[in-house]
Structures are given as structure tokens and as C-alpha cells.
A and B are shown apart, each in its own frame.
Chain A
Amino acid sequence: MEILQPLLRSMETGSVYALAALGIIIVWRTSLVMHFAQGAMGMFSGTAVAFVLNRTGAPLWVAVLAGAVVAILLGFAVDFAVIRQLKRATAVGKEIVTLGLIMVFMGLAPIVFGTDPMLLPKAIPTGEVEVAGANISYNAILNITVGIAIAAGLFVVLQKTKLGLAIRATASNEQTARLMGIPTKTVTLVAWAVAGVLGMLAAVMIAPTTTVTPTFMNTVQVSALFACVLGGFQTFYGPVIGAYLIAVASNFLKLYGSSVWGDQILYLLILVFLLVRPNGLVGKTYLQKV
């Protein structure tokens, strides 16, 4: 049984899911909003990257920078114009709003960038290296490194910096944080922008394996949500673990289970997991107040 090759491939997709999942979790922790539109917003700014690349012929890093600007502006706009206005809405109401945003961005993308599907090349087009009998492309190594580096970098920022403290304080209790003088509004604004950039990066990493259409981030969005469920919404590292687990499980189920039914089996397993451990792998149970 071949293990290393599919494992390496899973690490690559896992990194994509992890970035998207981190975006969902950072929004959840600061705004208490389930960010269903993470994938759709990533799709939009990812499509912007492809658009810049295809229209201007600029190098990829310039296009990615442009995409980051789009992602940050979108994040600001959504938090400022929509989420902030929903302070008094219930959790389900906020959920529905981000579901509505999916449709808005899916509808906007073809209007802004045209209806023709676009291609986004790999950051490192060719070349691979052999590791213990398994082949891995330079691009995959880059993607895995970027994923892990960003996740690790984010943890350092969250744990060691003043901004990180502000985010964690807002996450644990928005009201108290505000009373302690933390500018919680700025914190959520930053969180939405960070989530936007993470989504854009996930899109740029997954795009070379497919074509850039309004739906190309759907699998990433679904997987990232499931990663959050698996890892629990209470920590920042749980969903990252969840993301890699899902990628590995998906790959191995398809390879050694059924190539056709692998995803359904995985989703069923996730559902069963949700029943057994509703708070995730590293989640705490919480006491309901009466």
C-alpha cells in the first residue's frame, strides 16, 4: 500500500483547507458570525488574481498582491456595511446573512470579471523532487510550506503580540474587551480582512488544479466548514488539525475505499463524529445557563 505519495498530496490540499478554515474561525471568534461566504469571497478575490494575470500579463506575485488588496477591501466592506449593522441579530440571522453573501459574490464575479472561465498557473510551473520513493512537485512543497508557515505565523501573532491579545480578548468576551479599552471594532475589521486574504491565498493555491469559475471554491468552503466542526470552534489550532485530517481522509478513502463514494463516506463519518462529539476534537463542553 502506497502511503507517502497520497499523504504528501493530502498535505497540499490540507494546507488549502487550513487557510480557509482559519479565515472562518478568526471571523467566528471575533464577530460570532458563521462565515459561510469565506469560500465565495476567496473565489472573488482569487478570480481577481486570475483576471489581473490574464489581462495585464503582470507577474503572479503582483497579481496576488492586487488580489490581497481586493480581499482586504472586501473584508472591510462586508464587516463595515453588513456585519456591524447586525449587532442585535440572532446567530441564525447572521448565518443567513453570510449565506446571502455567497449568492451576492457568486453573482458579482461574472459581472466584474466576465463569464469566460480563466486559468491560473502554478507559482512554480515545473520541477519535482523524489522523497523516499514519492514524487512531490516544487509547487506542492511551496503550498505546504505557505500553509504551515501562515498557520504558525498566525499563532505567533495571536499568542505573542498586542494585536493577538486584542483578538483573543475579543474572542473570549467582546463586551468585557470593549470595556477594557480594546478597540473591538478595529479588531473585527482586521479579522475580516485577514479572513479575506486567507481565502484569496487558498483560492490561488487550489486554482491551478481546476478552472477559475464562480463555483471553483465550493469544495474548499465545504471542507473548511467541516474542518472547523472537526476541530471545534473554541481554539485556533483545532480547525487546522481538522483541515489536514479531512484532506488525508478524503484522499485515502478515494484511493483505497471507493473513488466514487469516497466523499459520501467521509461526509457520513463527519456527521457521525458530530453526533458523538458535538464540540469537536479539542472543544470544551459548555454548561447551559438556566
Chain B
Amino acid sequence: MDCCKKKRVKKIAKRKAEKVIHLNPDSLRYLRFRISSKYTTERHMFLKKDPSKENSVIVSNIPSFVGEEVVLAVLKQFAPFEVEDSFVQRSSAADNSLGQGQLTMSVTFEKPEAVIQVLALCQDVGPFTITDFLDDPDFPCVLNDSTSLYKKLFPSEEKIQEMADAYVAKYDTDQAEARKEAKRKYSEPDEDGWITVTKVKKAAKSVKLKKEDVPLIGGLNGKKKKVDLAYYTFQIKKNRQEKAQELLKKFEEDRKRIAQLKQARNFRPM
């Protein structure tokens, strides 16, 4: 049954091949497929010419468990062109893992006409059944995945110790090497005859004092603090004005705050 189907697909493909002439190169094309004889929902893969690369098509909405090879095999079914390169560009999964979500891949053919052929024919063929292209279909299963992940979390204690020892040993040698390298750097001249000179840290930091911390007795630099006293009438006036301004500003701020509170009180989005 399966082989009949495949044959039929190929036939259709060849017959249609010559009809293709007019096709908007920027349009979004689809390819029908389904997962298996058990999971028969019709799904669409979407194909589009890659505007940045002449020989490439972008294929999207590929379930991650279908994989790159299967897509190539499907394409080969109706457009037997040599593929130069193919890779998965991205996944729609939230964590961007290529093992999850719907994938988007790029397929680059050797010849540019392959792109036109693929796009022209894809809508007329299929639906393909994915399991036909897989010897041993391996669908994701949350239960199995999580149990196997759980197992991995429990390596034997010897192994933990071993891993730790190995890493630390390596780390120690790396550190030693780095130290040696550094020492060499500023003791022996390198190829060009240079010696790296580094700044030597001071033994003790001087105590920094903030302005307020300056002891009262005369201060450190002996200057007297200037006392800011309004003496002239204009100074008094100015001070008063400034104070009033400040109060006014504060009042404005308060008013704004209250307005916000009031607004929030009346806020009923539901």
C-alpha cells in the first residue's frame, strides 16, 4: 500500500513538472503531510524562496521531531535535485531549543531552477506520511523524556567524585600553567624582547574621609568653613524667594502624587 502511494506521488510530480511557468516567486507555498497512519491530521509545511539567496528555499512549520533528513527526503520525492546545503535556522519554542516546537530550515540547491520547481510542485503533491521515511520513528514523549532526564540526575557517587577530581586536576594544572606563563611574562623578555611590567599594589590603602567626617579641630586643610548668612536685604529677599519656590515645588509634587492616588482609586479596568 505504502509503495503504491509513493509511486503515485512520483507520477504526479513528473506530469506536473512541465506545466510550471507562471509563479509569483515571493508567494508562500505549502506542502501537505501527515505524521503516520495513526496520527492522520493534515498538516502544512510552508515553503518560500529565500530572497537573500538565489538557490535556497525556506521551509517552515516542521514539527521538531520530524527532522531535517525527513524534509529533504520528502522534497526529493517530487523534486529530485541535488541539495548543496541544508540547516535548521530556528525553532518556535520558547526556550529556542531545536528539539522543541516548530522548526524553520533553509535548503540550498545546487541550481536555481530547483527552487522554482520545488515551489511550483509542492502544493500539488502529497499528503506525505512522515513515518514512511523513518525506519524507527522516535516521537517525543514527555513522560519518557522526564524519566530519562531524572535518571541522568543521579550518577553514581564514584562517578561524581571522579568527575570532580578530573575537573579540579585539570583546573589546577591550568592555573599553574597560567601562573607560570604570567611569571615568565614579566621576568623574561618575549619574542620581541618586551617584558610586561605591572602596577604593584600599595601595601595599605589611605583612608578616605568624607567631608562630613573631617575632624572638627581646624579641619585637614586648615580652611575655615564659610558661614552662609544672609546679610544684605537682597540676600534675605532671595533666600525667602528660594524657600517659597521650594515649598511651591513640593506642593506641586504633592498635588501630583495625590492626583495619581485619586486616579488609581477610580481606576476600574473591569
Q: Do A and B come from one complex?
A: no
